[in-house]
Amino acid sequence: MYAYDEIDRTLVNERVSEFRDQVKRRLSGELTEDEFKILRLQNGVYLQLHAYMFRVAIPYGTLASNQLRALAHVARKYDRGYGHFTTRQNIQFNWIKLAELPDALADLAEVGIHAMQTSGNNMRNVTSDQWTGVAPGEIEDPRIWSELIRQHTTLHPEFSFLPRKFKIAITASDHDRAAIKIHDIGLKLIKNEKGETGFEVLVGGGLGRTPFIGKTIKHFVHGRDILSYIEAILRVYNQYGRRDNIYKARIKILVHELGIEKFSREVEDEWQHIRNSSLQIDDEVIEDIRSRFTYPAYEKLPHMPDELRQAAADPGFEAWRKNSVAPHKVQGYSIVTVSLKPIGAPPGDATAEQMDALADLADKYSFGEIRVGHEQNLALPHVAKRDLPALWKALNRLGLATPNVNLITDIIACPGLDYCSLANARSIPIAQELTRRFSNHELANLIGRLHINISGCINACGHHHVGHIGILGVEKNGEEVYQITIGGRADESAALGNLIGPGVKFDEVADVIEDVVEAYLALRERPEELFIDTVKRLGVEPFKERVYATR
Amino acid sequence: MTSPLEQKKIKIAGPSVVTANRTWDGIVVYRTAANGWSAELSEAAIVRNSDEAKALLAESVADDVGAIGPYIAPVRIGEDGKVQPGNLREQIRRTGVTIGSPVQV
Amino acid sequence: MPLVNGGKIADDSFVKLAVDTPLPEGGDILVPAERFLGDADALLKRGGKVGVIWPNNRDIAELVPYLGRIAAVALVFPTFRDGRAYSQARLLRERYDYRGELRATGQVLRDQFVFMLRAGFDCFEVKKQADAEAFMQTAKRYSVFYQPTGDGRITALHRRMQLRHSEGVGT
C-alpha cells in the first residue's frame, strides 16, 4: 500500500476546503448551476435520476482496511447503507446530499481517500491490474508508476479542461486484467534489452458511441520519460481534440481522424521539446515513491497446508477454492477474489456491513489490504493458504463467496435506467434475471469462462462492446430494446463484439442469452473450447441461425 | 425516456409537468402552480400545451437555487384525476429502482 | 469587468481594438491577432504599448517573432470549459520565454485562478467583481503542487527530495 505523507494529506485537505467553499457559494446562489456543474464534476458529483451521485476514486484498485471502513462509514452516514463498485476502480454512492458532501469528503480525507477527477473532462482515476504486486510472472510492481502518474495528473494546471474525459490504465502482466486497450492511454510495463523498465504506450482506445481498440503509439518509452511522454500526448490532444461535438471529443476520434502515424509524429515533436525537462524522473524520485509502499512480511509457508487438505472434503469449499482462489507469487499464499455478484443481486453493490466485515477479514487474513477490479469484484491479495477454509466460511456468511468468478453470472453491468440520467434502458434487472437463469453452479461451470457485459445506453459504461456477450439497452418508441453482440473481449486480445441480430425486448433478453449459450454448447469442439474461442472459430453466423431461427 | 439534455425543442403531446432535482439534497421534485417545488407529483402544476410548458419551464429554470436540471416530463391523468408518471424513466424517478431491495445479503 | 494585475484589482491601461476600430493616436492597445499580423510593423512603431489578443485555436508559435516587442498577450477562454489557452500560456512562458504581461480573458472565474497562475498568467479580466476581490485569498488556496510548470513553485516530488536530504543529515 502507498502511504500518504504530509504533502499528500495537505493537498487533499486543501481540495476539500476548496470544495466546501464551492458548495457554499452554490447553495447561496453565488454560483449558478452552469458554473458549478464543472466544479462538482471535478469532484465526482453527478446528478442522477433520484439524487446526486458521488464517485470516489480507488487509485489503481488498492484499498487499506481503514479506507474500506471509511467507505462503509460514508455509505451508512451520508447515503443509504450501500455503495456500488464501478468498472474503473471507483465506488459510487447514489443518494448523497450536496449540502453534506464536504463533510463526507473530509471524513474520507482522514484516511487518504478523495474524489478528485472521478468525473469531468480531465484525467480520471489511474487504473491498474487488481493483482499488481502479487501476480506470478509480473514484470515489476506497476503501482509505483501508477502512483507517480496519479500524482502528476492530479489538479494538473494545463489539463483540467480537456476536450473530454481522459483515462489511463496500466498493466505489468502478459494477461491484461486492466483492459488497457480500451483506454485513452494504455501502458504496458516492459523491460528493454538492457533490462531497463519502460512502457509500451497505446493510445486512442475507448468504447462509447464510436468504439476503438487502442493502437501502439510507441513500442518503448523509458520509465524516466513516461511523464513527459504522457504530457506530450495530452498537450497535442488539448490543442487539437475536437470541442465542437461531445461525441467526437475523445482522443480516439483525434487519433482516428489524423491517423496513428500523423498523431504519433505530432506527439513525438512535442515530446522532443519536453523530454529533457523537469518532467524527467530520476531514480531517487522513483525510490522515494517505492519507499512509501509497504509490502507484507510474508511467512515461509508450505505449499499445501493441512488445513487445505482437510477442507478439500467439503464440496462447497472446493467449488469456491477452484473458482475464486488464484496463485500468488509467494509460496503458501493465494489471491482471493471476492465475488460481488451474488445470484439475483445488482452486480458490484456492497453494503456497509459487508464492507466493514471485509475490512476485518482483510486485517485478519490479508495484511489489511483489499483490491478492487474492473470486473466489479473485490480481492484479498495476500491470503495464507492455511487460512482459506476459515476465510471461506466467513465470506460465505457475508454473501461474498459465490463461486462464480469469470463465469456467466459474473456479469458486468452499468447502473442503467434504475439510477442513471443518461440511460435509455435498465441494466441491473437484466443482470439479475440472467444470474437466476444460470444460478446452477454445475451448469455455469459446464459453460466455463464467459463474460456478459450490459450497458443501459450507448455510452457503454458496462463495456458491452468487449463482453464475450454484450448487451446494449436502447430505447425504441418508448420501449426498452436490447441489442446483443458476441465475440468481444477486453484483455490482451481485445476485440469488439458483433451484432447477432435484431434487438429484443426486455422480457426476451434472458431467453435469447440462453439460446446463445445453448448454441455454444452445441457448437463447441470440445468442453475446453471457451465461448469466446468458439465464436472466433465460427463467426457470428451459426449463432445467429440457431438463436433467430425460431424468432 | 428521452434524456433531458436532448430535450431542446418544447413540444408536448399531452399533459405534462416540470420536474427537477432539489439543489441542496438532490431529491426529485415537481414544479407547483404556486411557483415552488414539491416532492409530490400530485402537487405539480399540469401544463397542456407548448406555451404553458414553455412558461413553466422558464420560471423553473430561473429558480436555479431551488432545483437543478428542470425539464418537461409527460404524465398520465387517470379517470379519478390522479396524476401518474408518463413513462418508465419518470416512473422510476417517482417510485425508485425496479430491482427490489438494492442489495441482498 | 474588473482587472486583476499583479494580484490586485487595477485599472486597465489597454484599449481593446476590434478588427476595424480606427487606430487611436496614442495609448496602449490590444489588437486582434489577425490585424496585428497584417500590420505589425506599423502598429509597433506608434507610441503606446501594443498587446495582441490571440485566439485559442491558432498556433501560438506564429507570435514568436514579435514576442520581444509586444507588451501583452491576451489569451481567450471562450467558456471556462475550454482549456486550450492553458497550453498556449505554458508554451509562451516555458518554451518561448515570454516575460511580458500574460492576460486571461473571456470566462475567467475564481475557481480557475490557481490553474491560470500555474500556467503563467499574471493578469486577469475577471468576470465577476466578487471573484476579483477574492483573488489573493483564492490564489493561496493550495500549497502543494504535483506538477512542475514554469511558475517556479516547488513540486511535491522535489519537496520530498529536500526533506529526505535534510532528514538524511546526521543519520
The CATH classification of domain A6-109, taken from the options 3.40.50.1700, 3.30.950.10, 1.10.3720.10, 3.90.480.20: 3.90.480.20
Per residue in A9-36, pLDDT (tens digit) is 999 999 999 999 999 999 999 999 999 9
Contacts of A350 in chain B (CB under 8 A): 103
* pLDDT value at C25 more than 90: no
Specify the amino acid at residue A136. Answer: P
CA-to-CA dists, residue A411 to A337, A343, A406, B56, angstroms: 14, 10, 8, 43
Give residues 107 to 136 of A whose Cβ lies within 8 Å of C: 121
Q: Does the beta-carbon distance from A161 to C86 stay under 8 Å?
A: yes
Mean pLDDT of the region A534-549:
95
Residue-level pLDDT at B6: 46
Same domain, C76 and C44: yes
Closest partner CB to A354 (pick from B26, B27, B105): B105
pLDDT at residue A279 greater than cutoff 90: yes
Q: Give the A:B interface size as CB pairs under 8 Å.
A: 97
Contacts of B35 (CB under 8 A, 6+ apart): B59, B63
- Confidence label for C166 from pLDDT (cuts 50, 70 and 90): confident
CA–CA distance from A169 to each of A180, A374, A470, B7 (Å)? 5, 11, 22, 35
Which residue ranges make up each domain of chain A?
6-109, 142-290, 306-397, 412-548
How many Cα atoms are found within 13 Å in the side-chain-facing hemisphere of A73? Answer: 17
Do A33 and B23 lie within an 8 Å CB cutoff? yes
Q: Which of B2, B3, B103 is the closest to A349 by Cβ?
A: B103
pLDDT above 80 for C114: yes
**Residue C161: its pLDDT value, please?**
86
If one compares A1 and A70, the residue with the highest pLDDT of the two is A70
What is the least distance, in Å, from the CA of A116 to any CA of chain C?
14
What pLDDT score was predicted for residue B4? 46
Measured between beta carbons, the chain B residues lying within 8 angstroms of A80 are 102
Q: pLDDT value at position B8?
A: 58
Three-state secondary-structure class, residue A377: coil
C150 and C107 fall within a common domain: no
Torsion-angle region of A373 (φ positive above 0: left; ψ -120 to 50: alpha; else: beta): beta
Using the predicted structure, report yes or no on whether residue A479 has a pLDDT greater than 80: yes
Where are any strands of DSSP class E within A156-300? 168-171, 185-191, 197-203, 215-222
Q: Which three cell numbers stand for residue A401?
A: 463467496
The DSSP H or E segment spanning A15 is helix A6-27
Write the DSSP string, A95-133.
Answer: EE-GGGHHHHHHHHHTTT---TTSSSSSB---EE-TTTT
- One-letter amino acid for residue A266 of the chain: E
Is residue C170 pLDDT above 80, yes or no? no
Any C CB within 8 A of A24 CB: no
Torsion sign, CA atoms A6, A12, A18, A24: negative
Q: Which of helix, strand or coil describes residue A77?
A: helix
Residue A188 in this model has a pLDDT that exceeds 50: yes
DSSP-derived secondary structure for B70-88: EEEEEEEE-TT--EEESSH
Sheet holding A349-351, edge to edge: A45-47, A52-57, A90-96, A82-85, A349-351
Question: Which DSSP string corresponds to B27-92?
Answer: -EEEEBTTSSEES-GGGBPPB-SHHHHHHHHHHHHH-TTTEEEEEEEEEEE-TT--EEESSHHHHH
Q: Please check whether residues C152 and C128 belong to one and the same domain.
A: no
Q: Are residues C163 and C88 in the same domain?
A: no
The C-alpha of B68 sits at a distance from chain A's nearest C-alpha, in angstroms, of: 7
Q: Over the stretch A404-450, which tens digit does the pLDDT of each residue have?
A: 999 999 999 999 999 999 999 999 999 999 999 999 999 999 999 99
Task: Provide the chain C residues 17-76 that lie in CB contact (below 8 A) with chain A.
Answer: none
Examine domains A306-397 and A412-548 and report if their fold is the same: no
What is the residue-level pLDDT of chain B in tens, covering all 105 positions? Answer: 344 444 556 788 899 999 999 999 999 999 999 999 999 999 999 999 999 999 999 999 999 999 999 999 999 999 999 999 999 999 999 999 999 755 443
Assess whether C114 and C158 both reside in one domain: no
Contact partners for chain C, using 3 or more CB pairs closer than 8 A, are A
- What cell was used for A246? 461531445
| Residue C46 CA to its chain's centroid (Å) | 24
Closest to A70 measured CA to CA, from A12, A128, A27: A12
User: Please, do chains C and A touch (3+ CB pairs < 8 Å)?
Assistant: yes
Range of C99's domain? 3-140
CATH no., domain A412-548: 3.30.413.10
Architecture of domain A306-397: Alpha-Beta Complex (3.90)
Quick one: closest CA in B to A351, which residue? Answer: B103
Does C123 lie in the same domain as C94? yes
A283-326: pLDDT as tens digits: 999 999 999 999 999 999 999 999 999 999 999 999 999 999 99
Provide the pLDDT for residue A173. 97
The cell for C128 is 465577476
Domain total for chain C?
Answer: 2
Query: Would you state the pLDDT for residue C1?
Result: 87
Phi, psi of A40 (to 5 degrees): -70, -40
Q: What percent of chain A has pLDDT over 90?
A: 98
Chain B residues 68-97 within an 8 A CB cutoff of chain A? 68-69, 87-89, 92-93, 96-97
Contacts of A21 by beta carbon, 8 Å cutoff, 6+ apart: none
Instruction: Look at the domain A142-290 and name its fold.
Output: Sulfite Reductase Hemoprotein; domain 1 (3.30.413)
Joined together, the cell numbers standing for residue B100 give 427490489
C-alpha to C-alpha distance for A487 and A91, rounded to whole angstroms:
28
Are both C122 and C170 inside the same structural domain? no
Q: What is the pTM of this model?
A: 0.96
CB contact under 8 A, C160 and A288: yes
pLDDT band of A229, cuts 50, 70, 90:
very high
What percent of chain A shows pLDDT beyond 70? 100
Contacts A353 to B, Cβ<8 Å: 105
Q: What digits encode the pLDDT tens for the residues A348-388?
A: 999 999 999 999 999 999 999 999 999 999 999 999 999 99
Return the axis-axis angle of helices A251-258 and A260-274, rounded to nearest 10°. Answer: 110
**Chain position carrying cell 446494449:** A472
Mean pLDDT across chain A, nearest whole number?
97
pLDDT band at A1 (very low <50, low <70, confident <90, very high): confident
Q: Are A64 and A381 in contact (CB under 8 A)?
A: no
CA dist A485 and A502 (Å) reads 10
Structure confidence by residue, pLDDT tens digits, C148-165: 999 989 999 889 888 888
Distances (CA, A) of A252 to A211, A230, A357, B21: 8, 15, 41, 34
Q: Scanning every residue of chain B, which has its alpha carbon at the shortest distance from the alpha carbon of A45?
A: B26
Q: All 3 cell numbers of residue A220?
A: 518503448
